[in-house]
Structure 1
Amino acid sequence: MSKVVLITGGSSGIGKSIGILLVEQGYTVYGTSRNPDKFNDFTAFKLIALDVRNTESIQKAFASIIAAEGRLDVLINNAGVGITGPIEETPDEEIHKAFQTNLYGPIAVMKAVLPQMRAQKSGHIINVTSIAGYMGLPYRGIYSASKGALELVTEAMRMEVKMFGIEIANVAPGDFATNIAAGRYHTPVFDDSPYKEVYENMLEEMNSHVDSGSDPKEMADAVLKIIQTKKPKIHYKVGAFMQKFSIVLKRILPDKMYEKMLMNHYKL
């Protein structure tokens, strides 16, 4: 019997790449979008409406999958939003929105699917976080915090649900060639801002990293391997060597030395 997979944020980028690969491997895939009507020509897999910031929307989408398939075997919490800016100048409303999408939303989706997985006595949940979630990056502090918090939530929930036959893992991508920069919230570069020059340069550098990032197919391959692993690890990292190595350096270097390394890298 084909395993049923739900991928939040499945209409483009990493989510779409994962869905396409899983369909090729024989999985039944449901991707989600806040506005699936925008993708009338989307044929890669089933695309349904789901807004991770809206509990009613989550419940409705999940109920439609259970009505059609009778089960859910894999949840891939991929929906996320980027946000940049000096924390001092980032509007509170945008900070809340980022946490709603990157942290509270994935938690709400997991809470929706866990009773079904518990009844099945099986299930895989994979939370897509970020290598940025392992460190506080300048001008990306809110994004780092929201993804880092999801890493810790996953660690805790993984222990809570293991006795029900449910496995949870994190997979943290580095920079990938997706459209995340287009949808990212950028705090405006204010002419009178004390951060103006540095932040402006940082924006250009961040966008160039995304444009020259790795192929999302690498993430799809990694997710497939996790799904096919009976006892997955807690943390997986996917990306360029130096991006992954930066996590190792954070573990072994003194805090101030690591901070200096980051500041030198970002020319601060």
Structure 2
Amino acid sequence: MSKVVLITGASSGIGKSIGEFLTAKGFSVYGTSRNPQNYKDSKFPLLTLDVKKNDTINQAVFEVIKIENRLDVLINNAGAGITGPIEEIPELEIKNNFETNFFGPINVIKAVLPQMRKQQSGLIINITSIAGYMGLPYRGIYSASKGALELLTEAFRIELKDFNIKMTNVAPGDFATNIAAGRYHAPLLENSPYKKPYSETLDLMNTHVDNGSNPNIMAEAIYKIIKKPNPKVHYKVGEFMQKFSIILKQILPSKVYEQLLIKHYKL
């Protein structure tokens, strides 16, 4: 019996690549989008879901279970980027980012848990970010929201162990997607003390995304994780140096690692 998979944020980028890959492998895939009517060429069904609106979350999960009578895998992929000097990012935008990257995934998890507990089986994969392992300059809010989801997963795994429900994090590095176009950018203010370093860092970030890896690499990694009987707590997917940067943070003195980041971003 093919596994039933629900993927949030599956109309483009990493989510779309995962959905198409798993569909080709014979999984029963359901993706979500805030506006699925705009993606009529999708190779798998797209349901309406906005991770900031609980009614749409509950309805999408209900529809999948109504059709399939089960739900085996949730992939929490929907997310939003945000850049800017922390001092200059409006509080509303900070809250919006956490609503999408942290509270949204929590609410989707809450919606699927009753069915997975009823089945006594299930796998939840939270797509985080390598940026969530370190406080990156001018991406501090994004780093914080993804880092929070990483820690949440650690706690959730222990709470769910008695129900045979597995959970894991997959932290991607830079992939060639449209995330840069959709992220919130704090405006470059003429009189800002951060204008020059923020502008240069923003250009560097966009270059990293433009030159990022093929998102199919993420899709293959997710497929392999789904097939594992006992997934690890954390996975990292990306270029060697991006993954190695996490190891460096673990072994280097904090100030030395900080200097490496400063040098990397030319700040």
For normalisation by structure 1, the TM-score amounts to 0.99
SS at match of 1:18: helix
Alignment of 1:8-157 (within 5 A): 8-42=8-42, 44-157=43-156
In structure 1, list runs of 5 or more residues that go unmatched. none
- Measure the CA separation in 1 of the matches of 2:241 and 2:30: 34
SS at match of 2:132: helix
Amino acid in structure 2 at the alignment position of 1:30: Y
Amino acid in structure 1 at the alignment position of 2:6: L
Partner of 1:258: 257
- Measure the CA separation in 1 of the matches of 2:16 and 2:40: 15
- Measure the CA separation in 2 of the matches of 1:256 and 1:203: 23
Amino acid in structure 1 at the alignment position of 2:213: S
- Deviation per CA, 1:160-199: give whole Å up to 9, x if none: 0011010000000000000000101000000000000110
- Deviation per CA, 1:36-55: give whole Å up to 9, x if none: 1111232x101110001111
- Measure the CA separation in 2 of the matches of 1:205 and 1:19: 29
Amino acid in structure 2 at the alignment position of 1:14: I
- Measure the CA separation in 2 of the matches of 1:67 and 1:261: 52
- Deviation per CA, 1:70-101: give whole Å up to 9, x if none: 11000000000000000000010100000000
Partner of 1:210: 209
SS at match of 1:126: strand
- Measure the CA separation in 2 of the matches of 1:41 and 1:220: 19
SS at match of 2:112: helix
Structure 1: 4+ residue segments shifted above 6 A:
none
- Measure the CA separation in 2 of the matches of 1:63 and 1:125: 17
Partner of 2:241: 242
- Measure the CA separation in 2 of the matches of 1:135 and 1:263: 13
- Measure the CA separation in 2 of the matches of 1:267 and 1:2: 49
SS at match of 1:75: strand
Amino acid in structure 1 at the alignment position of 2:22: L
In structure 2, list runs of 5 or more residues that go unmatched. none
Alignment of 1:180-199 (within 5 A): 180-199=179-198
The CA deviation at 1:147 is 0.1
SS at match of 1:40: coil
SS at match of 2:14: helix
Amino acid in structure 2 at the alignment position of 1:225: K
Partner of 1:2: 2
**Over the residues paired in the alignment, what is the CA RMSD in angstroms?**
0.5
SS at match of 2:111: helix
- Measure the CA separation in 2 of the matches of 1:202 and 1:38: 33
Amino acid in structure 1 at the alignment position of 2:237: V
SS at match of 2:113: helix
- Measure the CA separation in 2 of the matches of 1:41 and 1:106: 26
Partner of 1:166: 165
The CA deviation at 1:2 is 1.4
SS at match of 1:226: helix
1:222 partnered with 2:221: yes
- Measure the CA separation in 2 of the matches of 1:37 and 1:192: 42
Percent sequence identity is: 66
- Measure the CA separation in 2 of the matches of 1:173 and 1:40: 27
- Measure the CA separation in 1 of the matches of 2:142 and 2:173: 13
Amino acid in structure 2 at the alignment position of 1:214: S
- Measure the CA separation in 2 of the matches of 1:164 and 1:152: 20
